[in-house]
Homo-oligomer: A and B are copies of this chain.
Amino acid sequence: MSEYSIGVDLGGTNLRAAAVSREGKMLNKVSGATPAGTGREALIADIVRSIETIQGSLARGPEGHELQGIGVGIPGIILMEKGILVGAPNLPELVDYPVRDEIEKRLGKRVTLENDANVAALGEKWMGAGRDVEDLILLTLGTGVGGGIVLGGRVHHGYLGMAAELGHLTVVPNGNPCGCGSLGCLEQYASASAVAGMARMLSLGRDLSAEDVFELAQGGNTRARQIFETVGTSLGIAIGNLINVFNAPLYLLGGGVAAAWDQFAPALLAEVSRRSYIYRAQPPRIERAALGSDAGLYGAASLGFQRR
């Protein structure tokens, strides 16, 4: 009888789920489109269905796997004790609704909800770039910039579950206005939207994606390179601060924009070195996350093995 857990990664566009063994082996994976905008019932039903699909496939196997628990990663702010979302810009239908209890009721299994960046950080700690450390900080560079902080092998939640809003670290005190109400947040300089926005500002092109800008930079385009230099410098200020705060051994960059590592890393490392004498005294690792979009699945699954 081998034990496994199911991790669900509920994104604004994709709903994915995977079974992972206690040893960290991914046994099965399903994915589909998130039925966002069709109401809360359709969403919950789809989550439950994806879990049941996986359960079914493993039950049919010859090995007799035993489900230990279920973890669900969601892009939003979660009241951990209650299993309720209090903020989720991409999934507003789930806010203030007992998401955890509802899934538990339908499946008869223990469920843990966790913020998407936090599960990605946990996944990297368990089976990715952070296997050898107890503390790590992850920045996810996607449409926005998210953060996950793992200390002593566990997520640091803060007293209200709102910790690690690393996309809203100030990097340019009087810089671009941010949706959060502040000015010059990291998210305004290092997200995919920021890269696209800077491309418009620099008349590089009207509808370029962050990926397009990366291609241009790789081809030698000066303005595109300048954009990634800004990405790197901004990340360097933020990570320099995080090093001075945490003195952690590992800082990871995930999300789509992290693929442009070669373009922004030189400026990032130069800035961190200037900002943090702790970095100069003994440089911690600063790296791309290792598991890509599977990090969230591993991390969510790891929660299924934890006692609440």
Write the nearest CB–CB distance from A146 to chain B, whole angstroms: 12
CA distance A158 to B276 in the complex (A): 14
Instruction: Check: A163 CB closer than 8 A to any chain B CB.
Output: yes
From B158, B240, B282, give the contact of A246 (CB < 8 A). B158
Q: Residues 163-195 of chain A: 1 if any B CB is under 8 Å from the residue's CB, otherwise 0?
A: 111101111110000001111000000000000
Instruction: Check: A1 CB closer than 8 A to any chain B CB.
Output: no
Question: What B residues does A134 contact at CB under 8 A?
Answer: 159
Name which residue of chain B comes closest to A165, CB basis. Answer: B244
**Does the CB pair B246–A163 fall under 8 Å?**
yes
Question: What B residues does A160 contact at CB under 8 A?
Answer: 247, 278, 281-282
Instruction: Check: A156 CB closer than 8 A to any chain B CB.
Output: yes
Number of residues from A at the complex interface, CB < 8 A: 46
Q: Residues 134-166 of chain A: 1 if any B CB is under 8 Å from the residue's CB, otherwise 0?
A: 110000000000010101000011111111111
Write the nearest CB–CB distance from A177 to chain B, whole angstroms: 11
A:256-280 near B, CB below 8 Å? 274-278, 280
Write the nearest CB–CB distance from A251 to chain B, whole angstroms: 12
Name which residue of chain B comes closest to A241, CB basis. Answer: B169
Question: What B residues does A151 contact at CB under 8 A?
Answer: 151, 156
**Does the CB pair A169–B245 fall under 8 Å?**
yes
Question: What B residues does A171 contact at CB under 8 A?
Answer: 173
Q: State the oligomeric state as a number of copies.
A: 2
Write the nearest CB–CB distance from A77 to chain B, whole angstroms: 9
**Does the CB pair A247–B159 fall under 8 Å?**
yes
CA distance A207 to B158 in the complex (A): 43
Write the nearest CB–CB distance from A200 to chain B, whole angstroms: 24
3 closest cross-chain pairs (CB), A and B: A158-B247, A163-B247, A162-B247
**A-B pairs with beta carbons under 8 Å apart, 30 shown:** A133-B159, A134-B159, A156-B246, A157-B247, A158-B247, A158-B248, A159-B247, A159-B248, A159-B249, A160-B281, A162-B247, A163-B245, A164-B245, A164-B247, A165-B244, A165-B278, A168-B244, A168-B277, A169-B245, A170-B240, A170-B275, A171-B173, A173-B173, A180-B277, A181-B280, A182-B240, A182-B274, A182-B275, A182-B277, A242-B245
In the complex, besides A134-B159, A181-B274, 12 extra interface pairs with C-beta distance below 8 angstroms are A156-B246, A159-B247, A159-B249, A159-B284, A163-B245, A164-B245, A165-B278, A166-B245, A168-B276, A169-B244, A172-B173, A183-B274
